[in-house]
Amino acid sequence: MSHWYEESAPEADEEFRAAAQARQASLTKPLGALGRLEDVAIQLSAVQRTLEPHVDK
């Protein structure tokens, strides 16, 4: 039986990474105001290939 944590993560898509960075920069908040959370959201966008990443509980 394999576990989810034994599987390789999908490759990050650089086009989605760039789009997510641009989206973060356009939001009405000071640039970098959310710190590491912004970096995590951008990485999730690139891996999930969406500008609205989702994490289940």
pLDDT of residue 49: 97
pLDDT in tens, 11-36: 999 999 999 999 999 998 998 899 99
Domain chopping of the chain, boundaries: 9-48
Which pLDDT score, from 0 to 100, does residue 39 have? 95
Asked if 17 and 53 touch (Cβ cutoff 8 Å), the reply is no
DSSP-derived secondary structure for the chain: ---GGGSPPPPPPHHHHHHHHHHHHHSSS-TTTTTHHHHHHHHHHHHHTSSS-----
- Is the per-residue pLDDT at 6 higher than 80? yes
- Asked if residue 1 has pLDDT above 90, the reply is no
Contacts of 19 (CB under 8 A, 6+ apart): 45, 51
Whether the full predicted model's pTM is greater than 0.85, yes or no, is no
- pLDDT of amino acid 38: 93
Angle between helices 36-48 and 14-26 (to 10 degrees): 140
